[in-house]
Chains A and B, each alone.
Chain A
Amino acid sequence: MRSPNPWRSRRTRTLAAAAALAAAAPLLAACGSDGPRSGGGGGEALEVWVYQDGSTTIQEEFVEKFNETSDIDVNLTQIAGDSYQERARTAMGTPNAPDIFFNWGGGSISDFVAEDMLVDLTDIVAEEPELRDGFLPTIMDAGAVDGRYYGVPMRGVQPVILFYNKTLFADAGLEPPSTWEAFTTAVETFQEQDVTPVALGGADIWPNMMWLEYLLDREGGSEVFDRIRNGDASAWGDPAMLAAAETVTQLLDDGAFGNDFRSVAYTNDGAPTFFAQGEAAMHLMGSWEFANQLTNQPEFAESDLGWTTFPAVEGGAGDPSAVVGNPTNYWSVNSQVEGERLDAAVEFLKLHASEEYAQALIDNGDIPATTNAEELIGSAPNPEYAQFQWDMISGASSFTLSWDQALPASQATPMLDSIDKLFGGQLTPQEFVDSMQDL
Chain B
Amino acid sequence: MKQRTSTKPRAGRPGIAWAVPGVLFFVFFAAAPMAIVAYLSFTDWDGLSNPSWTGLDNWSKLWEDDSMRNAVWLSLLLTAFTWLTQTPVTLLLGVWAAGRQRNRAVLSAIFFLPLLASSVALALLWRTIFDPNFGLAPDIADLFNLDSADLLGTPRGAFAAILFVTGWQFVPFHMLIYQGGVRQIPRSFYDAAAMDGAGTIRQFFHITLPQLRNTIVTSTVLMVVGALTYFDTVLILTRGGPGDSTEIVPFLMYDTGFQAFDLGYASAIACALVAVATAASLLLVRLTGFTRMRSTREGL
A90 within 8 A of B: yes
Determine the chain A residues whose CB is within 8 A of the CB of B32 once the complex forms: 19
Which of these, A89, A263, A268, contacts B153 with CB under 8 Å?
Answer: A263
* B57 in contact (CB, < 8 A): no
* Majority DSSP secondary structure for residues of A touching B: helix
* Residue numbers in A under 8 Å from B263 (CB-CB): 20
Mark each residue of chain A from 1 to 38: 1 if its CB lies under 8 Å from any CB of chain B, else 0. Answer: 11100000100110111111011110110000000000
B208 within 8 A of A: no
Please, how many angstroms separate the alpha-carbon atoms of A273 and B154 in the complex? Answer: 23
Q: Tell me if A264 and B132 are in contact (CB < 8 A).
A: yes
Report whether A24 and B262 are in contact in the complex, using a CB–CB cutoff of 8 Å.
no
Does B85 touch A at the CB level, under 8 Å? Answer: no
Query: Is A260 in contact with chain B by the CB < 8 A criterion?
Result: yes
In the complex, what's the smallest C-beta–C-beta distance from A111 to chain B, in angstroms? Answer: 6
Binary per-residue interface labels of chain A (106-126) against chain B in the complex, 1 for a CB within 8 Å, 0 otherwise: 000001101101000000000
CB contact between B132 and one of A89, A263, A409 (< 8 Å): that residue: A263
Contact between B48 and A117, CB atoms less than 8 A apart: yes
* C-alpha spacing A194/B71, complex, angstroms: 39
B76 smallest CB distance to A (angstroms): 21
CB distance from A259 to the nearest CB of B (A): 5
Nearest CB of B to A155, in Å: 23
Contacts known (A2-B50, A117-B48, A413-B259); A263 close to B152, Cβ less than 8 A? yes
How many chain B residues have a CB neighbour from A under 8 Å?
Answer: 53
CB distance B133 to A19 under 8 Å? no
Q: Give the interface segment out of B97-105, B109-117, B123-131, B213-221.
A: B123-131
Find the B residue at minimum CB distance from A274. Answer: B133
Interface hits, A15-72 → B, CB 8 Å: 15-20, 22-25, 27-28
Contacts known (A24-B258, A413-B259); A268 close to B127, Cβ less than 8 A: yes
CA distance A264 to B263 in the complex (A): 31
Binds B, one of A136-144, A356-364, A414-422: A414-422
Q: Contact between A115 and B48 (Cβ–Cβ < 8 Å)?
A: yes
**Is there contact, CB below 8 Å, between A25 and B40?**
no
The range of chain A's interface size is 35 or more
A15-B29 Cα distance, complex, nearest whole Å: 12
Question: Which of B51, B132, B149, B255 has the most chain A CB atoms closer than 10 A to its own CB?
Answer: B132
- Whether B153 contacts A16 by the Cβ 8 Å rule is no
| Chain A residues whose C-beta falls within 8 Å of the C-beta of B148 in the assembled complex | 259-260
Task: Answer yes or no: B122 CB below 8 A from chain A CBs.
Answer: no
B242 touches A420 (CB 8 A): yes
Contact B150 A115 (CB under 8 A): no
Cβ of A263 and Cβ of B258 under 8 Å apart?
Answer: no
Name the one of A24, A92, A260, A261 contacting B48, with C-beta atoms under 8 angstroms.
Answer: A92
Within 8 Å of chain A (Cβ to Cβ): is B266? yes
Q: How far is the CA of A83 from the CA of B258 in the complex (A)?
A: 10
Task: Tell me, in angstroms, the Cα distance from A9 to B48 when the chains sit together.
Answer: 11
Pairwise interchain contact A22-B260, C-beta atoms closer than 8 A: no
The answer to whether B49 and A115 have CB atoms under 8 Å apart is: yes
Cβ–Cβ contact A16 & B36, under 8 A: yes
Neighbouring B residues of A115 by C-beta, 8 Å: 48-49
Judge if A168 is at the interface, Cβ distance under 8 Å. no
- B residues sitting closer than 8 Å to A (CB atoms) are 29, 32-34, 36-37, 40, 45-52, 124, 127-128, 130-134, 137, 148-154, 231-232, 239-244, 250, 253-255, 257-263, 266-267, 270
4 pairs of A and B residues whose beta carbons are closest in the complex: A262-B153, A260-B150, A19-B36, A19-B33
**What are 26 A-B contacts with C-beta separation under 8 Å?**
A1-B50, A16-B45, A23-B34, A23-B270, A24-B257, A25-B231, A25-B250, A28-B258, A89-B261, A114-B49, A203-B152, A203-B153, A259-B148, A260-B133, A263-B131, A263-B151, A264-B132, A265-B127, A268-B128, A268-B131, A270-B134, A273-B134, A409-B259, A417-B240, A417-B243, A420-B241
